[in-house]
Amino acid sequence: MIKFVLCLLIAAAAQAADTYVNGQLHRDFDREVFTSTVEVWSGDKFGSTFFFADFDFGSTGETQSYFEISRHLAFAKLGKSDLNATLQYNDGVTGVDAVGGKLIPRTVLGGLALTELRAGNAVFEVQALLRQEFASEIGWQFTGVWFWPIPKSSFEFLGYVDWNTNKYQNQPISVQAEPQFQFRKKQIAVGTEWELSRNFAGAYTESDGFEYHKWYWHPTLYLRYDL
């Protein structure tokens, strides 16, 4: 189902003028998997749509998939920035769902997003959201996104940070950040991504396991191509 939705979104995005698509291939050294990522951003006169999907591959084939889709509807200007109403949906599948229950909860989020915040040539977005995980109470999430082409160089610093409740499994508030630092040459970039987290169950690895109230760092190296 995730792959079907992905194909539909890429096909639809290809018809839009203000659309950006990229594909990434990561080597996750701690989990000993490759992760392929597709990101699609498409703008229109009403706002924008963003989608990404991750597919993990181990020695036996695909082990996990995850996707997020969000829709922004711009309704006001704050200086040069746009204030948006936003609705988002997240979901994923793991190899042990049939045995231990669904590990990645289906999640709907809604709230406000302030986009096109600028400082020099860096661009930022901040979101304040209500978060409804499947069969759980309503929680909250704050998200920050950034993109900074480093002046007079071919390097770029980008990524996001999430701070949110985990009502689905009644666990502590979590923090997850995935900063990326990359070297770009036209449409191709190579770089490293650092997954930094606390109380984020996705930090689990077979070698180190997972504990709450502990910080984790999982690095990758990746190749990226922008269409």
CATH code matching the domain that covers 2-226, chosen among 2.40.230.20, 3.40.50.2300, 3.40.50.2000, 2.40.30.10: 2.40.230.20
Instruction: Considering only residues 5 and 45, tell me which one the structure prediction assigns the higher pLDDT.
Output: 45
The CA–CA distances, whole Å, from 46 to 15, 50, 74, 152 equal: 16, 13, 6, 34
The mean predicted confidence, pLDDT, of the chain is 92
Q: What is the mean pLDDT of residues 98-104?
A: 78
| pLDDT in the model for residue 40 | 96
| pLDDT in the model for residue 7 | 53
Nearest 10 degrees: Cα torsion 201, 202, 205, 209: 0
What span, in angstroms and rounded, lies between the C-alpha atoms of 154 and 149?
A: 8
| pLDDT in the model for residue 15 | 52
What span, in angstroms and rounded, lies between the C-alpha atoms of 47 and 71?
A: 8
Q: What is the mean pLDDT of residues 23-36?
A: 96
Residue 16 has pLDDT above 60, yes or no: no
What span, in angstroms and rounded, lies between the C-alpha atoms of 184 and 153?
A: 9
The CA–CA distances, whole Å, from 52 to 4, 79, 157, 208 equal: 13, 29, 19, 27
Contact between 78 and 105 under an 8 Å Cβ cutoff? The reply is no
Q: What is the mean pLDDT of residues 119-124?
A: 96
Say what percent of the chain tops pLDDT 90.
80
Q: What is the mean pLDDT of residues 150-176?
A: 96
Lowest mean pLDDT among 12-26, 129-143, 185-199: 12-26
Residue 101 has pLDDT above 80, yes or no: no
Return the DSSP state at 3: H
Domain ranges of the chain: 2-226
Residue 9 has pLDDT above 60, yes or no: no
Split at pLDDT 50, 70, 90, the class of 80 is very high
Residue 45 has pLDDT above 60, yes or no: yes
Spatial CA neighbour of 194 closest among 159, 142, 147, 145: 159
Residue 46 has pLDDT above 60, yes or no: yes
| pLDDT in the model for residue 225 | 98
| pLDDT in the model for residue 10 | 53
